[in-house]
Every structure is written in structure tokens, then in C-alpha cells.
Chain A
């Protein structure tokens, strides 16, 4: 069974640009969550999508948004990039809901110059 797939693995953008990250969950998993991880920080929860609906949201500005498609694939978008948005963005999928075991992808490393 394929794991969680995130694309791209690495991305370099400049301030003010926008970026879209993609996540394909494990087959059969309906919940997809996104996290931001910066050096020295833990996993900062961005949001969770379940059956195409945002079900939980962290404390991030509105520049961070996401969506989920009918096949459970999810995208995360960050608009008007800032230097502080440089981070590893992790996607995790779980079978039913966020309180179930989450399986992580390898992440997308975003560098904002």
C-alpha cells in the first residue's frame, strides 16, 4: 500500500509569490491534515480536511488555505509569501478522523527568499 505522497519535495519562492503544495493520502484515508515545522519548533497544526470539508483549523493567518478533492487528495496554498513561511510542510492522513493514527508524508521543504 502506497504511503502519503507529497509534491514537490523542495520549492524555492520569493517574497510576495504564492505557492501550492499537494498531498495524496493513503488509499482509503479520508482525513488529511497539514502541519508547518520550523527549526526548533514542534509541529504547528494548520488545518484538517475530511470529506472535502475543513473540520479543524489552527492559528495561522488567512494567507494559508487548503482544499480537499473528492478523491481525498488535498492541496495547501500560501499566498503573499513571507520569509517566515520558510519551513517543512507536512501532510498526514488518517482513516476516519484526526484523533486516529496519522501517517505522515516526507514533506515539502519551502524556502522563501
Chain B
């Protein structure tokens, strides 16, 4: 079945550093989504991508839909303490009514 490989699994960075994480798959997706989950809460949508090559920003966050439609990355610039959490990528299949596939998440830790 379809799988998403999200990396890294966890990151420890200093406040102010830039962050990069990505998702890859052997399957083609027609939608890429990035979510952030704070402890004890549900995931919140950060960025949605609909077209191969698309580059979209949301404040300090930038995400890109890979040209091959099999990958996506998320960058966070100048990290701040509230960026701590788990970031999930999700891919939407071209097949109608197929379920969205989620990556296992990247847990971001920020060192003081």
C-alpha cells in the first residue's frame, strides 16, 4: 500500500535556527498537506499544496510540492519556542475517495 517516509523522526535545534523536514513516497500524490500538532491537541493544518512544483509560504513556514509529485518538504525559518511540536505531512491520492496517507511525524525540540 501507499506509504510516506517522513524524516527526520526528531530534531533538536537552537532557537533562531532554520529547520527543514521532508516526506517522500514511491506513490504519486495530487495533494500535499503539512500539519502541526501541539501536545494533547489535534493536528492543525499549516500549508496545503495542490500542484507539482508549487511553493507556498505561511509566515516563517515554506513548503514545496515536489516536481515528481512523490515528495514534499517543509522549511521553518528563524525558529521560536512555540514551533515545538510534531509536524506531519500527508498525501492525498489522485484516486477519488482514497484515504489521505500520513507520515509518522517529525518531532521538533528547541533548545534554550
A interface residues with partner B (beta carbon < 8 Å): 4, 6, 33, 41-43, 45, 48, 50, 55-56, 88, 90, 92, 97-107, 109
Contacts and interface: CB of A to CB of B under 8 A. Distances in A.
Given A42-B102, A99-B92, 10 more contacts: A43-B88, A45-B102, A97-B97, A99-B93, A99-B98, A99-B99, A104-B42, A104-B44, A107-B40, A107-B41
B109 to A, nearest CB: 15
A56 B41 contact: no
A101 B30 CA distance: 12
A6 to B, nearest CB: 8
B98 to A, nearest CB: 6
Nearest to A42: B104
B45 A101 contact: yes
B103 A102 contact: no
Contact of B88 (A42, A56, A97): A42
Interface residues of B, number: 25
Contacts of A56: 97-99
A99 B33 contact: no
Nearest to B92: A99
A99 B104 contact: no
Best-buried of A6, A43, A48 by chain B (most CB within 10 Å) = A43
30 contacts: A4-B42, A6-B42, A42-B88, A42-B103, A43-B43, A43-B88, A43-B102, A50-B97, A55-B97, A56-B98, A56-B99, A90-B42, A97-B96, A97-B97, A98-B97, A99-B30, A99-B93, A99-B96, A100-B92, A101-B33, A101-B45, A102-B33, A102-B45, A103-B45, A104-B35, A104-B44, A105-B42, A106-B40, A106-B41, A106-B42
